[in-house]
Structure 1
Amino acid sequence: MRSSAPRPFERVLVANRGEIAVRVIRTLRRLGIRSIAVYSDADADAPHVRLADEAVRIGPAPATESYLDPERIVAAALETGAEAIHPGYGFLSEHAGFAEACRDAGLVFVGPGIEALEVMGDKIRAKRHVEASGVPTVPGIADPTLDDEALIAASASVGFPLLVKPSAGGGGKGMQVARDADELAAALPAARRIALAAFGDDTMLIERLIERPRHIEVQVLADAHGTVVHLGERECSLQRRHQKVIEEAPSPLLDAATRSRIGQAACDAARSVDYLGAGTVEFLVSDAAPDEFFFIEMNTRLQVEHPVTELVTGIDLVEQQLRIAAGEPLAITQQDIELHGHAIEARVYAETPHRGFLPSTGEVLAWRAPVGDGVRVDAGIDEGLEITAHYDPMIAKVITFGSDRAEALDRLDRALVDTVVLGVDTNIAFLRRLLADPAVQAGDLDTGLIDRMPEGDAAAVSPWLVDAAALRFASDDVADRLTSSDGGPTAWQSAAGWRPGSVRHVEVLLAPRDHPHDVRTVVAEPDGAAARPADSVVRVGDDGAVWVHGDGESVAFVRIDRRARAEQRRAATERGGLAAEPDLRSPMPGTVTAVFAADGDRVEEGDAIVAIEAMKMEHRVVAAVDGTVRLSVAVGDLVSRDQAVARIEPHPAASGPQSIDGPHEGAVANASDQE
């Protein structure tokens, strides 16, 4: 991935944030190009800002007022004397208007031409366009003039099940599955609402849902001199709600002949729009017929999962983007490109898997990236950084390379064990459980595999984690007493549980933060029975929660007040034995986007009460019991995690225990928008 060619630009502005900005800046530094970062108020001290040679503030935290504002980005580039703008991925990377604004300002947009962005950015138009070039597509309805009623009527010609997709969207945001006409009637307005809020365009298209599909994408490079090459494929079938989780290259499904055919189809699609730069053509491949493939869409930018292609080809895709944008011809031919070994990438998200993968926010209390043979980490976080609800929840990517797939899988699992993130919940434990699945080990993948996985036991916690947290709580108690003492330390103040003739160790009442009903009484002993791993890390958050990591596990514990616990039990008794709390709480920090019931309405268990959006995801909070709703919020209100948004006053006839596992119960994830 080294190059001795002259640098294509002197100064480049990176119009993005997080791990992609860090990754692009590293290539700029290697090529000797001066890098310019942009940042919002939320990212003033972010790693990409510190890594760049220069940095420019572009606005407040909301993306619409900073990273999504073309005028601010272009002004920052002109102000700093940048010759080109690299958009990374997401934000403005596929925005034709932004590319046009760059051109009008005399700046080079490191990406494809405006025609390619316009054609491939519209799924309906893209599908029609590639069909004309002989690229196979999924049967469906792609007519922007049809309203919901007409789409439902036309769906009979396609047949169920169907996939509803926003035409202007990407990354799965707003996608809905409909298995009959009734589900389609409900899915269309929901998808339109999400699409309009996210993309400003609620045009829908409908496609036949291919059961047990494999999601295969092909990386292409195209220069301004007519050369188009592909760099092999990536397997992206491990998805959750159309959100890619683990990607690998090459695919364990394709043989050499199919690889050549699908690569040629990808090149044909790119050539049809005079594509320029790096792009990805996505296909569905039937698991039952791996020699058949169907075009889904073309992503006219660098992909999140591009590192696996870089590792098996040895080609720096960001460098190629820059050289192509500078007008240089590709220095490689199709015959030069060979795939060696195997690479796998796992996306680390700030999210809570046992809460329906809801986004998690907070300060990063500890961060340690894994190292070792064949390990690569692309990350945009550091200790002290605040993970907010303003941006996508992906915080890092752990990528491993091996001589074969088995070695790459083994290295990835070990790398995830060594990855430490405390202060926010992550999906690391879930990723390890996914990698251990027999189907994943065998390469028998499809896009529904994760949905079919049994739920893990989120409440299962290693004894040493509990002991370590209890000891930290007890130690903090002693420290607090010493700090608050005016007379200085004495035996009566510093000896926890001290009594004449013996020491009675302190009993600590604690529970996992997200399972407050799983209360445990623990004797805090320095020499506890559970052995503590050598790599353990303990941190305390501003809210007093104790975070513990070790041997691949991470858990946050909260101290339980004995009096408050007794009051909770008494309140449950007064509710007639109902264990469900009457307060409905926000499962995440975000904005209230919809209210489905009026104050005083009678509702039933399972009825949607409010919708909350954050990190490009919308979630519904539903009633846990039958009763009368009392609202605490309105549309547009900002809410914090676990904030009460409504109260359900149970009907007098309600009886019988109903188990609930904390304030997150009843949160239903509706859509997501990470690729």
Structure 2
Amino acid sequence: MFTTVLVANRGEIAVRVIRTLRQLGIRSVAVFSDADAEARHVREADTAVRIGPAAASESYLRPELLIEAARRTGAQAVHPGYGFLAENAGFAQACAEAGLVFIGPPAEAISLMGDKIRAKETVQKAGVPVVPGSSGSGLSDAQLADAAREIGMPVLLKPSAGGGGKGMRLVREEALLGDEIAAARREARASFGDDTLLVERWIDRPRHIEIQVLADNHGHVIHLGERECSLQRRHQKIIEEAPSVLLDEATRAAMGEAAVQAARSCGYSGAGTVEFIVPGSDPSSYYFMEMNTRLQVEHPVTELITGVDLVEWQLRVAAGEQLPYEQKDITLTGHAIEARLCAEDPSRGFLPSGGTVLALREPQGDGVRTDSGLSEGTEVGSLYDPMLSKVIAYGPDRATALRKLRAALADTVTLCVPTNAGFLRRLLAHPAVVAGELDTGLVEREADSLVPDGVPEEVYAAAAAVRLDALRPAPTDGWTDPFAVPSGWRMGGEPKALAFPLRVSGLEPVTHPAPTTARVTADRVTVELDGLTHTFHRAGAWLGRDGDSWHVTDHDAVEAALSGRTHGGADTLAAPMPGTVTVVKVAVGDQVDAGQSLLVVEAMKMEHVISAPHAGTVTELDVTPGSTVAMDQVLAVVTPAVQESPQDSSQDSSQKSLEESS
């Protein structure tokens, strides 16, 4: 077994791997960019090495810097985690050439399965059913469009490299193929450095089922059951569970054997996942989608129902040990469900969020596990993936696991960084989810109903209580000026309840009276409203409850008017999120149509297209490709075209006729 292992990753997965290394008595080496110098994974490792600037392309994605860090610290092996270089065959090969053990499959297997086109051809030869789609690599835009028409709409565009839903585009209208192919290539190139695409038939109301496989270097391959990953947004998983309620024992065994054959077909070793698309109406008709040649984000649910530590067995297999299990030794006990906590704001259309974590509460114990890279003071920026942590619940049955996970999400606090925790809690209570009637489109169909409409009144009441408390004089042992006490007292009349103009989470200001019964401390606010008591977590101007959070500020109409933007109203295009401008399609003076794409802003590997609000002229453009922008920063101004009135048109025509007759 190794004595020192370098973890070539960051965030929650680096912390997770370091935990198992510590349990095995192996010295851990963390790496970090300038943005992560104070990160949790850096503090928890035995040794940490700076590898470069904040940008991933200059740090975490530089194989030579990682290998040099391993050499300097005496590491014998490298664990890539997931994301970054985890499925980069070149990195695996470079490790081998440097005398380092890559804790993952051979570079040849990564290369083969990393190319979705070759992967489909390989497993199909091994007897594994595949989704109908295009054939061949390096197809041009025109060839992709032709293949899509031949398959028939709707189709799914997929990058041949990478995974995680990046660059995937569902196209239902033939007329949109050109724009969607261009967008998919752009996102694939940014995420994986490779813009090769393929196109596949879209299966309506599909379920996403994946099989965990484990293989050693002695020819032994087993599977550890399936995970249901059908709850997704924008082709990215947000809830995963094991086992799936869809499969019976016969289908589970058949899919497991197909996954084992897929792993054998590429000479796989270590932990990997074979992903299948399954028609919900006919689970026996399953199709291979791809193989992820790495540890999966959702691996904890498999660990909880099998009792197998997958990271430990990645290490043991890489060290040359044989698997001690036969297929009959693997049993699935109980039920586990995982929720991915992401830095995104559901109330703003799930745009990426960010900030400094002012207050943190992460549930653990009693069937609940949180894998996290967070700590109080963590700065969440726009450079890396938005996933912050994972909350996992285990129970003897699915109903218990669901109940525990909903409670755990309600108890999760990340104030100053809006997350999707409240959204996920409501999703897990949706009748279709409770009944196990899932498909990959369910979340998108139901998203609007799972986002609260406006701000609850008790939030304004709590915010007013905080404002009132801030006005109270500090307690002293001496005399207190009664005129300094915000009691609402006035001469010759009844006390008047104090009210405060407040702006919550950037919405329209509301004036709300301070509640008569409230308790405010540094980290809690409790108010009574209509006979009910409401308790909120608090950190400065932030309030949180049941996974949701709100930013509360005073509203001064005069100050707001004086400090407002130079340009306002519908003419102004502002950044919907902090990020980087990647594409600028116009210049000052250009005439644009309503809805025309003008710019693209990227944050946390997500693109957001900025379109013209109306027809007009670009009169201001404040950014260039590569510009870093803050939320609500002005990007451009489109001045609407002047509409000529019928009277003016008639006068112009009469004047022209007069000039011609003269």
Whether the TM-score (by the shorter chain) exceeds 0.5 is yes
Match of 1:263 among 243, 252, 256: 256
Q: Is the 8 A contact 1:535 1:551 kept in 2?
A: no
The aligned residue for residue 522 of structure 2 is none
Per the TM alignment, residue 599 of structure 1 is displaced from its structure 2 partner at its CA by: 1.7
Q: Determine helix, strand or coil for the equivalent of 2:558.
A: helix
The separation in 1 between residues aligned to 2:347 and 2:593, in whole angstroms, is 24
The separation in 1 between residues aligned to 2:566 and 2:186, in whole angstroms, is 39
Match of 2:436 among 428, 439, 443: 443
Q: Deviation per CA, 1:221-256, whole angstroms, max 9, x where unpaired? A: 000010000000000000111100100000110100
Instruction: Give TM-score, length-normalised by structure 1.
Output: 0.89
Per the TM alignment, residue 518 of structure 1 is displaced from its structure 2 partner at its CA by: 4.9
The aligned residue for residue 315 of structure 1 is 308
Greater C-alpha Rg: 2
The aligned residue for residue 637 of structure 2 is 647
Aligned pairs for 1:228-307 within 5 A: 228-307=221-300
The separation in 1 between residues aligned to 2:175 and 2:497, in whole angstroms, is 62
The separation in 1 between residues aligned to 2:566 and 2:82, in whole angstroms, is 50
Q: Is the 8 A contact 1:17 1:38 kept in 2?
A: yes
The separation in 2 between residues aligned to 1:69 and 1:18, in whole angstroms, is 17
Specify the code of the residue in structure 2 equivalent to 1:301.
R
The aligned residue for residue 603 of structure 1 is 592
Q: Determine helix, strand or coil for the equivalent of 2:428.
A: helix
The separation in 1 between residues aligned to 2:144 and 2:583, in whole angstroms, is 25
Specify the code of the residue in structure 1 equivalent to 2:461.
D
Aligned in 2, Cα 1:475/1:31: closer, same or farther, shift over 3 Å? same
Aligned in 2, Cα 1:496/1:39: closer, same or farther, shift over 3 Å? farther
Q: Determine helix, strand or coil for the equivalent of 1:261.
A: helix
Q: Deviation per CA, 1:535-568, whole angstroms, max 9, x where unpaired? A: 531112xxxxx21123444222222112145679
Specify the code of the residue in structure 2 equivalent to 1:603.
V
Aligned in 2, Cα 1:284/1:36: closer, same or farther, shift over 3 Å? same
Per the TM alignment, residue 632 of structure 1 is displaced from its structure 2 partner at its CA by: 1.7
The aligned residue for residue 660 of structure 2 is none
Count of aligned residue pairs for this structure pair: 631
The aligned residue for residue 671 of structure 1 is none
Aligned in 2, Cα 1:609/1:281: closer, same or farther, shift over 3 Å? same
Specify the code of the residue in structure 2 equivalent to 1:547.
W
Specify the code of the residue in structure 2 equivalent to 1:513.
S
The aligned residue for residue 210 of structure 1 is 203
Q: Is the 8 A contact 2:410 2:547 kept in 1?
A: yes
The separation in 1 between residues aligned to 2:487 and 2:442, in whole angstroms, is 51
The separation in 2 between residues aligned to 1:568 and 1:70, in whole angstroms, is 47
The aligned residue for residue 338 of structure 1 is 331
The aligned residue for residue 98 of structure 1 is 91
Q: Is the 8 A contact 1:38 1:57 kept in 2?
A: yes
Specify the code of the residue in structure 2 equivalent to 1:561.
D
Match of 1:555 among 550, 554, 561: 550
Aligned pairs for 1:131-530 within 5 A: 131-456=124-449, 457-477=451-471, 490-493=481-484, 495=486, 499-500=490-491, 504-515=496-507, 517-523=508-514, 525=516, 527=518, 529-530=528-529
Q: Is the 8 A contact 1:163 1:206 kept in 2?
A: yes
Structure 1 segments unaligned to the other structure (5+ residues)? 1-7, 541-545, 656-675
With 520-529 and 44-53 compared, the bigger mean Cα shift is at: 520-529
The separation in 2 between residues aligned to 1:610 and 1:496, in whole angstroms, is 52
Q: Deviation per CA, 1:167-223, whole angstroms, max 9, x where unpaired? A: 113111111122243222222122112222222221111111111111000000000
Q: Is the 8 A contact 2:20 2:311 kept in 1?
A: yes
Aligned pairs for 1:11-22 within 5 A: 11-22=4-15
Q: Does 1:592 align with 2:585?
A: no
Q: Is the 8 A contact 2:345 2:352 kept in 1?
A: yes
The separation in 2 between residues aligned to 1:611 and 1:379, in whole angstroms, is 31
Aligned in 2, Cα 1:568/1:106: closer, same or farther, shift over 3 Å? closer
Structure 2 segments unaligned to the other structure (5+ residues)? 519-526, 646-662
The aligned residue for residue 130 of structure 1 is 123
Per the TM alignment, residue 36 of structure 1 is displaced from its structure 2 partner at its CA by: 1.1
Q: Determine helix, strand or coil for the equivalent of 1:536.
A: strand
The separation in 1 between residues aligned to 2:141 and 2:311, in whole angstroms, is 42
Per the TM alignment, residue 652 of structure 1 is displaced from its structure 2 partner at its CA by: 4.6
Per the TM alignment, residue 649 of structure 1 is displaced from its structure 2 partner at its CA by: 2.4
Per the TM alignment, residue 569 of structure 1 is displaced from its structure 2 partner at its CA by: 11
Specify the code of the residue in structure 2 equivalent to 1:472.
V
The separation in 1 between residues aligned to 2:442 and 2:539, in whole angstroms, is 35
The separation in 2 between residues aligned to 1:50 and 1:532, in whole angstroms, is 43
Q: Determine helix, strand or coil for the equivalent of 1:455.
A: helix
The separation in 2 between residues aligned to 1:211 and 1:75, in whole angstroms, is 48
The separation in 2 between residues aligned to 1:533 and 1:392, in whole angstroms, is 38
Aligned in 2, Cα 1:654/1:521: closer, same or farther, shift over 3 Å? farther
Q: Does 1:88 align with 2:81?
A: yes
Aligned in 2, Cα 1:499/1:369: closer, same or farther, shift over 3 Å? same
Match of 2:68 among 75, 93, 113: 75
Q: Is the 8 A contact 1:174 1:194 kept in 2?
A: yes
The separation in 2 between residues aligned to 1:101 and 1:631, in whole angstroms, is 44
The separation in 1 between residues aligned to 2:120 and 2:334, in whole angstroms, is 34
Per the TM alignment, residue 126 of structure 1 is displaced from its structure 2 partner at its CA by: 0.7
The aligned residue for residue 622 of structure 1 is 611
Q: Is the 8 A contact 1:266 1:281 kept in 2?
A: yes
Specify the code of the residue in structure 2 equivalent to 1:602.
Q
Aligned in 2, Cα 1:231/1:156: closer, same or farther, shift over 3 Å? same
Per the TM alignment, residue 627 of structure 1 is displaced from its structure 2 partner at its CA by: 3.4
Q: Is the 8 A contact 1:13 1:35 kept in 2?
A: yes
Per the TM alignment, residue 624 of structure 1 is displaced from its structure 2 partner at its CA by: 3.1
The separation in 1 between residues aligned to 2:362 and 2:154, in whole angstroms, is 42
Specify the code of the residue in structure 1 equivalent to 2:465.
L
Q: Is the 8 A contact 1:464 1:532 kept in 2?
A: no
Aligned in 2, Cα 1:508/1:651: closer, same or farther, shift over 3 Å? farther
Q: Determine helix, strand or coil for the equivalent of 2:50.
A: strand
